[in-house]
Amino acid sequence: MTAHSVTHQIMWNRLISVVEEQAQALVRTAFSTSVREAGDLSAGVYDIEGRMLAQAVTGTPGHVNAMAEAVAHFMREIGTDTMAEGDVYITNDPWMGTGHLHDITVVTPAFHQGRHVGYFGCTAHVVDVGGRGFGSDANSVYEEGLQIPIMRFADRGTVDQTLLRMIRVNTREPDQLIGDLYALAACNEIGQRRLSEMLAEYATADLSEISTYILSASEKATIDRIAALPAGTASATMQIDGYSMPVTLACSVAVHPNHIACDFTGTSAPDPKGINVPMVYTRAYACYALKCAIAPDIPNNAASLAPFRITAPEDTIVNAVHPAPVALRHVIGHLIPDTVFGALDQLLPATVPAEGAGALCNFQMSIRPTTAEGSRAEVLTFNSGGSGARPVLDGLNATAFPSGVMTMPVEATEHAGPVIIWRKELRPDSGGAGESRGGLGQYMEVGTRPGHAFDFSAMFDRVDHPARGRHGGQEGGATSVRLSDGTALGGKGRTRVPEGATVQLAFPGGGGYGDPRNRAPQAVARDLRLGYISEDTARNTYGLSEAQIRDALA
């Protein structure tokens, strides 16, 4: 490696640290708990042509991979010849941002010594954008909230106060939302400052050289990985709950010498309700699945994503067109990697995990007072089921894969509004049995403080179609939603909950991998001792003897 290459590598690493500082600034300054506590955000830096060069470690694949395409839309809609220092641009367009109205994307042109050198972009999930609220019940995107086209949030440093007034009167939590907008703009400003410092330190006028180095090295490394794979084509399907009817996700994966093609022909048509997925989000999670399996250690950027070519027929549920309702696009989108893995498992044995919970176990509580002393609030919580078992390792308990979003702490959720979380614990026997066991889901019970009632917006899947195991592994536990009086609720939709009642939830577990009878007895005994499985499961599924059960519990 030449001295020149070493310098470029150091600058590449520095860019990654710049965008990570950018993301952490957003975490520290954001108002919404979805950003501060769960990390539902992304941040990245782009060259002058709008190509993503580096992404923050903190954030979600759906955001950052979708944002890889977003800057080109901003360049076209704003016009690069009109851009100036102090400008900040904004949108929540699902088809030009990250898939639904609750994600705000902010892009800032980066300048160094008066010269336009690139862009910083960031995205965050906000708690409310008006409309019907966060949920699946809308019939079109027009019902789902305030739409912000690509426009200037700030023009040469002056924030558009008319935009802020429109946001304030159209949303239920205006202080939180406007606070998040300023946090998004500030995090890009941090990135701009650090980038300018780096360019000055290395006496570099712009990003052109480092951009060429990053993109060429990343593309070559990714294509080399693909070229080493056996050529072939495989297909897989997965049926999931959907809303009005079950949804079939179908994909085929074809390995070519210099790229991988992944096509979703055969997937169901769009749903009348808000679970449809814009193509930008489908590409984001399909690319993520392929990258996890084939090139996980190659940094994520425009060039390392380019060899993964994702297609889907227009007007399917994974390529929904405007004005389809898309608020819960993640419920379908987070299950795309498991579908891709189903095909990859036939091409790359002993590589991919069993199916997992997939979609985040989200719900939103719209709280209303029943007394004069009560208060209104919108409380969104992110929770997780279990991930699928891996070929030689158990699945992770209560862990969000593929999104990587963190579970919100009980304390943070209860601080966000008059909420009480009565129960939150791991769910025994929910991890699918196998030589490697699936990750456990959770039990949860929620209600409100006295003087309040609430509407409960469910955003779940895996109620009727639990995660399947692979190669003899058993399925994970299914999702369950019910009121405290025993009334069963659907996995999606809004329900009015009376004062004093609670919602009781059982989140799904991941599927197992391999024959459960091949699981090491010591591992079964440990699961029993930790309360991950019951005595019946240890005895009847894994074949532990009575003596082994007594020893494990002694």
Q: What is the mean pLDDT of residues 363-376?
A: 94
3-class DSSP assignment, residue 509: coil
Question: Would you say residue 58 has pLDDT above 90?
Answer: no
Kindly state the average pLDDT of the residues 160-177. 96
Within a domain: 15: yes
Domain assignment present for residue 265? The answer is: no
Residue 343 lies in a domain: no
Each residue of 310-333: pLDDT tens digit?
999 999 999 999 999 999 999 999
What one-character DSSP code corresponds to residue 143?
A: G
pLDDT at 2: 62
**Using one digit for the tens of pLDDT, what is the confidence trace for 101-119?**
999 999 999 999 999 999 9
pTM of the model: 0.96
- Distance in angstroms (rounded) separating the CA atoms of residues 271 and 138: 11
26 and 175 part of one domain:
yes
Residue 379 lies in a domain: yes
The domain tally of the chain equals: 2
Question: What is the predicted pLDDT for the residue at 554?
Answer: 86
pLDDT band at 73 (very low <50, low <70, confident <90, very high): very high
Q: Quick one: pLDDT at residue 5? A: 82
pLDDT in tens, 257-295: 999 999 999 999 999 999 999 999 999 999 999 999 999
Residue 537 within any structural domain of the chain: no
Does residue 123 lie within any of the structural domains?
yes
In a domain, 325, yes or no: no
pLDDT band at 59 (very low <50, low <70, confident <90, very high): confident
Any idea what the CATH number is for the domain that residue 106 is in? Answer: 3.30.450
- The answer to whether 438 and 398 have CB atoms below 8 angstroms apart is no
Asked if residue 357 and residue 215 are part of one domain, the reply reads no
**DSSP-assigned letter for residue 133:** -
Q: Write down the H helix ranges in 271-421.
A: 279-294, 302-305, 329-333, 336-347, 410-415
Q: Does residue 348 lie in a domain region?
A: no
Q: Are 356 and 425 in contact (CB under 8 A)?
A: no
Q: What is the pLDDT of residues 335-354, one digit of tens each?
A: 999 999 999 999 999 999 99
Q: What is the mean pLDDT of the chain?
A: 96
| Mean pLDDT, residues 407-420 taken together | 92
Q: Is the pLDDT of residue 134 over 90?
A: yes
pLDDT at 1 over 60: no
Last residue of a domain, one of 219, 242, 261: 219
pLDDT band, very low/low/confident/very high, at 3 (cuts 50, 70, 90):
low
Q: In what order do the strands lie in the sheet containing 52-55?
A: 52-55, 41-47, 115-125, 103-112, 88-91, 151-155, 158-159
Q: What is the pLDDT of residue 74?
A: 98
- Closest CA relative to residue 527, chosen from 416, 392, 435, 418: 435
Q: What is the pLDDT at residue 195?
A: 97
Structure tokens at 403: 């999104």
Among 219, 241, 271, the domain-final residue is 219
List the helix and strand counts (H, then E) for the chain: 14, 19
The yes-or-no verdict on residue 57 having pLDDT over 90 is no
pLDDT in tens, 420-472: 999 999 999 999 999 999 999 999 999 999 999 999 999 999 999 999 999 99
Which residue, 365, 390, 263, 396, is CA-closest to 319? 263
Cα–Cα distances in angstroms (integers) from residue 469 to residues 351, 477, 539, in the given order: 14, 11, 20
Question: Which residue range is the domain that position 112 belongs to?
Answer: 3-219
Single residue among 162, 192, 219 that ends a domain in this structure: 219
Residue 244: per-residue pLDDT:
83
Maximum Cα–Cα distance for the chain, whole Å? Answer: 77
Q: What is the pLDDT of residues 214-239, one digit of tens each?
A: 999 999 999 999 999 999 999 999 99
